[in-house]
A and B are shown apart, each in its own frame.
Chain A
Amino acid sequence: MSLLSVRDLTVKFAMRDETVTALNGISFDLAKGERLGIVGESGAGKSITGFALMNLISRPGFVDRGEILFHDEDVVKMSDARLRELRGDKMAMIFQDPMVTLNPVLTIGQQMLETLMAHRKLSREEARQIAIVKLREVYIPSPEERLNQYPHELSGGMRQRIIIAIALLLDPELIIADEPTTALDVTIQADIMELLLELCQSNKVGLILITHDLGVVSQMTERTLVMYAGRIIEAGRTREIINDPQHPYTQGLINALPQQTLPGQKLRQIPGNMPSLTNIPPGCPFNPRCEYATDLCRTTLPEIIQYGEVRVACHEVERLHAEGARQEQDA
């Protein structure tokens, strides 16, 4: 049975004189304890997807249609009170930048305890003990002292560990992590990811990891969604997608990885930029940047279809596959 089931999720933003579609017909499932990566360039709608899952889209954005079933209960239609019960308890979120996520005028202890006490009937002392245990789990040294400290007294990496600890406080079933390491120093990014993976595995927590880094996705997740201009363009098991990408965009992303490039060779970037959401080209949104684009691609939006092991939204997927196979034979 799936923990989370998203169907046809569409999010729009009411701008001055038009409505912009930021997410367009997103559908996917997540099983209990499963780890899913959402990949794409910035502006593809990854973060909006993450926020929408907790019904945290605020004006001028709104969920236009679709449903988000969490344990068969639609998050979109939930009352505010029910949403409050769910948020931070069964579903927790890790924000992008730990430097601005914690409230600067409240102590770490206050911010941890308030979360516990908002969801459980606990005495302050019981809550404190739980907080200390969770801080230990994320390898924070001398947690008792940290509780009395303010965020500005701690480093970015330390703060992100604390935010992970807060996410784990109430033993959630799902953690949504929105680029949890992009704001951090490169040297500690891997540590944080490793910690997150370890904790998710040992606690059997489902994870939705939002990132632009395919390398991270391949290490952390079992399944992957690739997003482009507010749509899912390829979805499937991470292994398949990394090893045998079908969509030209996904291929481009993988080819652009530094690991795919020989020393001295130029990085293979995808030419052009992602279209702004106010100005999406007709047909396949990727067609202006796609070297395989045909007339069909320029006029008709491709449906997402099952192709082999993955789902992919591309008119030319069969031709591409055939060409790919021929090239491999030649080699």
Chain B
Amino acid sequence: MFAYLVKRVFQAIAVMFVISLIAFAIQGNLGDPLRELVGQSVSEEVRQQLRDDLGLNDSFITQYLRFAGNALQGDLGTSYFFKEPALDVIMKKLPATLELVLGATVIIIGLSIPLGVYTAIKPDAIVSRIIMGISIVGISIPVFLTAILMIFVFSVEYGWFPSFGRGDVVHVWGYWETNFATADGWMHIILPSIALASIMLPLFVRLIRAEMMEVLQSEYVKYAVAKGIKPWRIYFVHALKNTLLPVITVGGVQIGTMVAYTILTETVFQWPGMGFMFLEAVNRVDTPLIVAYLIVVGFIFVVTNTIVDLIYGLVNPTVNLARMGA
């Protein structure tokens, strides 16, 4: 177990190293830090002097090591636009994004398992056919379009839900302000959460259904029937656990896609999270913020993937964590 953990952590560090290299390469090639500092009305001599002072004439390796050293201490540069440390800017935006992801995840997990299991158990029922019909429409609508159409229907036409922003948030701790403490906050987060979940939910319903149907055809399920086990136990103990194992793996892969969808959802709803911030930073060519976003997102991605792998190892008895470390 310990050896496996060490191996996974080592892999995670390797991925972070690659991400930091990419981020560093972007930083070196995107925009001109001098212009941001002093504008263009400075003589060439002073520029050279400044370049030396800033270390821009050092070798690539020296510059990278300085970059990585600073990054490890939490210094990802200063945003040109906000004139604040880039990491601080992101940390202020992070809770909004995490709450949105939480809302969507609750919707996805809460609905995909019962719907997937039901459609697998009763593939010919009318309800199942309707669910499958909706699900294929669901995977055919891009996230941003779902978001737009929901705004059009529920905000513009009926006025049931607000169309942008977080609404009333309550300060909890540090930079964390929550939507889940006021009715207005809840109203604001409902549409964005549904939009963010809109393409993944049908994807997972279909995945769980397909896996479950395959498992229900297996010998061990037939054997459980031959032993006189009750159907609910066969479905939820024998079949569901085997169904969810591959689903966990896919879930890990989907984390990155989820982050991409937050950019889309936040842009449509002008949700003040880090996805919306990233797109603004791109439009302003705010290089330190772009780089910081990349590193933070990479970090979240690596951490969650490692956790998903560990969960898989713990849930699946045929994976021997101790042996995999060797």
Contacts and interface: CB of A to CB of B under 8 A. Distances in A.
A103 B230 contact: no
Nearest to B229: A118
Interface in B270-326: 316-318
A248 B266 CA distance: 78
Interface string A63-84: 0000000000000000000011
B241 interface: yes
A-B pairs, top 8 by smallest CB distance, nearest first, are A88-B228, A88-B227, A87-B228, A150-B317, A103-B220, A100-B219, A93-B226, A84-B228
A131 to B, nearest CB: 13
B219 to A, nearest CB: 4
Contact of A150 (B218, B227, B318): B318
A309 B10 CA distance: 75
B223 interface: yes
B222 interface: yes
Contact of A103 (B224, B225, B226, B245): B224
Interface residues of A, number: 28
A56 B245 CA distance: 27
Contacts of B219: 95, 97, 100-101
B318 A104 contact: yes
A93 B226 CA distance: 7
B228 A104 contact: no
Contacts of B224: 103
Contact of B225 (A56, A105, A114, A166): A56
A168 to B, nearest CB: 12
Interface in B77-102: none
Contacts of A107: 317
Nearest to B223: A101
11 contacts: A87-B226, A93-B226, A101-B219, A101-B223, A102-B223, A105-B242, A106-B237, A114-B229, A115-B229, A150-B318, A152-B318
A89 interface: yes
Contacts of A56: 222, 225-226
A324 to B, nearest CB: 42
Given A84-B228, A114-B229, A115-B229, A95 B238 contact: no
Nearest to A107: B317
Contacts, number: 73
A119 interface: yes
B324 to A, nearest CB: 14
Nearest to A87: B228
Nearest to A149: B317
A85 B220 contact: no
Interface of A: 54, 56, 83-89, 92-93, 95, 97, 100-107, 114-115, 118-119, 150, 152, 166
Interface in B204-234: 218-220, 222-230, 233
Contacts of B318: 104-105, 150, 152
Nearest to A114: B229
A118 B228 contact: yes
Most buried by B among A89, A97, A100: A100
B242 A54 contact: no
Contact of A106 (B228, B238, B245, B316): B238
Contacts of B237: 106, 114
A150 B242 CA distance: 14
B227 A115 contact: yes
B228 to A, nearest CB: 4
Contacts of B241: 105-106
A227 to B, nearest CB: 21
A83 B226 CA distance: 9
A114 B316 contact: no
Nearest to A112: B227
B318 to A, nearest CB: 5
A85 B228 contact: yes
Contacts of A103: 220, 223-224, 238, 242
A150 B241 CA distance: 14
A147 to B, nearest CB: 14
B242 A104 contact: yes
Nearest to B315: A105
A104 B317 contact: yes
A152 B317 contact: yes
A119 B228 contact: yes
Interface in B245-284: 245
Given A105-B241, A106-B238, A150-B318, A100 B227 contact: no
Contacts of B316: 105
Nearest to B238: A103
Nearest to A170: B228
A97 B223 CA distance: 11
A48 B222 CA distance: 13
B225 A87 contact: yes
A33 B79 CA distance: 85
B222 A102 contact: no
A89 B230 CA distance: 13
B228 A89 contact: yes
A107 B318 CA distance: 11
Contacts of A95: 219, 222-223, 226
Contacts of A115: 227-229
A89 B226 CA distance: 10
Contacts of B242: 103-105
Contacts of B220: 100-104
Contacts of A97: 219
Most buried by A among B225, B228, B238, B316: B228
Contacts of A118: 227-230, 233
Contact of B218 (A92, A100, A166): A100
Contacts of A83: 228
A114 B233 CA distance: 9
